[in-house]
Structure 1
Amino acid sequence: MLAIINGTVYTMNGPAISKGTVLVSEGKIVQVGEDVALPEQVEIIDAAGKYVMPGLIDAHTHVGIMEETYRIEGDDTNETADPITPHLRAIDAINPADLGFKDALAGGVTTIVTGPGSANIIGGEMVIMKTAGTVVDEMILRFPAGLKCALGENPKRVYGNKNKMPVTRMASAALLRETLVAAKTYLEKIAKAAKDDAVAPERNLKLEAVGRVLNGEIPLRVHAHRADDIMTAIRIAKEFNIELIIEHCTEGHLIAPWLAAAGVKAVVGPIISNRAKVELMNRSLETAMTMYQKGIPFAIMTDHPVVPVNLLSLSTSLAVKGGLPEEEALKAITINAARLLNIDAQVGSLEVGKDADIIIIDRPIFDPNHQVEKVFVNGCLVMG
């Protein structure tokens, strides 16, 4: 057993506990509080003067898929030969030896979402995973975790240069609708065959992957910066009655009432960014604050390696500068991120029964000079 004692404990499930104790056994949290009786044969870590909190969650990255040091050899982010590739699986491209995983741990990030890039209208299936491990299969928390899609400039640029659809935003939306219709028809044929004891259609991996979205098993996670692209995604989600998460949501603050009315979720960022393309013209530090004010569920991302994953807390501190309350900012990279990703039964807070993903830092998380001193994943010390 392991006991972390005397630290200021941020459980993310109530007020901070001064001189709290977190008791861990077999990779799980078994007790949290002020007056915790310690059993015999327990390893003790004294965190006096330190801050103890759940490992951070980065809800959108390309860690392990877009390797920084191997620009060609290690870049498996986009399959740019076909704009519709829902059958691609992130787990088949992730390199656990990517330095991005070490960066994540150095920044206190113990859980990430990683997946394909935004070159394609439909890019493939994303995965939620821990950042410590040697084999992808042992690191997976949830797969598939969403189907990555993209609207706006990226698919237009990639395929327009090849004189191939999509050249326009209309074509981008049309290709997405066309694929959703095909998948709906595919599912109907399978259901009819089962009911009538007839021959089912030949297995189609592309339509099978999209079918998981239509069946409500996973969300459609749509890369969209500009307000009009966000509204297109909302329009399509309504047409097909599917769960929608807007990735980036750069101009979300301009249309926040519509997002709130549609009941969509958002992963905001990267916040540390310049206006590298037209879609980013209206980027604002106030986007996350506006999401909070309108009651829109949201998390904050780095989009690693666009912004290094170890800078997740620094990115979030800029949202605080934009008006987001500190408590809500911390939730956006812990418990609220976990809720958005449907993994809050396992991670995101220090509660009994949850995975013992714990970080110990020397000063408050939004102090830019803080140091992550120790990181535990599933109760095992992986850094420090």
Structure 2
Amino acid sequence: MILIKNAKILTMAERDLEKGDILMGDGKIQRIGENIAAPAGAEIIDASGLTAMPGIVDAHCHIGMWEDSIDEEGADGNECTDPVTPELRAIDAINPVDRCFQEAREGGVTTVVTGPGSANVIGGQFAALKTYGACVDEMVIKAPAALKMALGENPKGVYGGEQKKAPMTRMASAALIREALVEAQEYAKEMESDDPPKRDLKNEILCQALRGELLVKIHAHRADDIFTAIRLAKEFNLRLSLEHCTDGYLIAPYVKESGAKVIIGPLLCDRCKPELKNLSWNAPRVLYENGVEFAMMSDHPVQPTQLLQVTAAMAVKYGLPGREALKAITINAAKAVCLEDRIGSLEEGKDADIVLYSGDPLDVRSNIAHVFIDGKQVR
């Protein structure tokens, strides 16, 4: 067991502690409080002057899918041969020894939700995993964690632009998603008949989404694409997460009304394509002011995942309350990927994913003194 003593504790739950202790054991947080007595044999870490907070959660990235510094050989995030590929699994492409995992945990990121890119209208399955380990199967928290879909210019550019086939328009992107989901509905009916069809991996995973068992992450930057994502979710009763949601702050009341999960970003980047023309640091503040709960993503490697702390700090500079900025990369991010029962806050019974900072986590000058994942010190 490990006992952290005398830390300022930002729980991201109901109560913070100005000077408190955290007892870890069996990979979980056993106790949080003041003046906790050390069990026999426990390792004690004096955290006087340090601030403890939950490990950062990156709710949308592609870490391990586009590996660092090796170009095309490490690019395994987009299968640009078919616009509808729900059967693809991120865990079959993630390289756990990509050095970006080390950089992530050194930056306080303890959980990443990583998966296919946005070339395909249905791209495949995301996985949630811890950033420490030598084997992906041992790092996984949940796989599949979500099904990725994409609207807007990316599928159009890959297929309509390069291959001269559907989708060439936004209409075709939505139609391909509808066709796939309708086919899956028919497959589900046939599977209950006396003469079921042979197993179909594409339809199996789509049926999970249709039954509400699997979150659907829909890449949508522009307002029209956001509305299409909401429309599709209503039509098929999908559990929707709006990914990027760049124009979301411009239509915040509609985003709020939709009830969708919202993961915005990356914000620490340039406006490299037309869909990003409304990219704004004001977005987090405006969404918050309209009552929209949101997380912030890195979209690694677009923005290195370890810079999520910087993203949160910049959002504060543009008017987002500090507490809300930290929630956007901890508990809100955990909620956005349906893992709040395990990660995102420092509470008894949750995974012992803890970061100790030398100062305010929103001060980019603060150093990270210790990182724990599942109760194991990894920095």
TM-score by length of 1: 0.97
CA distance in 2, matches of 1:322, 1:176: 37
For the residue of structure 2 that corresponds to 1:220, the secondary structure is: strand
For the residue of structure 2 that corresponds to 1:323, the secondary structure is: coil
| Residue matched to 1:146 | 146
CA distance in 1, matches of 2:203, 2:290: 35
CA distance in 2, matches of 1:302, 1:186: 36
1:255 aligns with 2:273: no
| Residue matched to 1:230 | 226
Preserved contact between residue 271 and residue 318 of structure 1 (Cα < 8 Å): no
Per-residue displacement from partner, 1:246-281 (whole Å, max 9, x unpaired)? 110000011111111111111100010111011000
1:368 aligns with 2:360: no
TM-score by length of 2: 0.98
Deviating 4+ runs (over 4 angstroms) = none
CA distance in 2, matches of 1:289, 1:243: 25
CA distance in 1, matches of 2:209, 2:255: 20
Preserved contact between residue 184 and residue 207 of structure 2 (Cα < 8 Å): yes
| Residue matched to 1:124 | 124
Measured on the aligned residues, the alpha-carbon RMSD in Å equals 1.0
Per-residue displacement from partner, 1:183-209 (whole Å, max 9, x unpaired)? 111112112x1xxxx121111111111
| Residue matched to 2:174 | 173
| Residue matched to 2:70 | 70
Where does structure 2 lack aligned partners over 5 or more consecutive residues?
A: none
Preserved contact between residue 87 and residue 206 of structure 1 (Cα < 8 Å): yes
The amino acid that maps onto 1:170 is: M
1:188 aligns with 2:189: yes
Preserved contact between residue 38 and residue 44 of structure 2 (Cα < 8 Å): no
State the 1:342 CA deviation: 1.3
For the residue of structure 1 that corresponds to 2:119, the secondary structure is: coil
Pick which of 302-311 and 318-327 moved more: 318-327
The amino acid that maps onto 2:216 is: L
| Residue matched to 1:357 | 353
Where does structure 1 lack aligned partners over 5 or more consecutive residues?
A: none
For the residue of structure 2 that corresponds to 1:255, the secondary structure is: helix
Percent of matched pairs sharing the same residue: 51
**Among candidates 184, 194, 200, match of residue 196 of structure 2:** 200
| Residue matched to 1:32 | 32
CA distance in 1, matches of 2:261, 2:355: 27
For the residue of structure 2 that corresponds to 1:311, the secondary structure is: helix
State the 1:294 CA deviation: 2.4
The amino acid that maps onto 1:31 is: R
1:101 aligns with 2:101: yes
Aligned residues between the structures? 378
CA distance in 2, matches of 1:132, 1:309: 14
CA distance in 2, matches of 1:34, 1:255: 45
The amino acid that maps onto 1:98 is: D
Residues 266-285 of structure 1: matches in 2 within 5 Å? 266-285=262-281
State the 1:58 CA deviation: 0.5
The amino acid that maps onto 2:41 is: Q
For the residue of structure 2 that corresponds to 1:72, the secondary structure is: helix
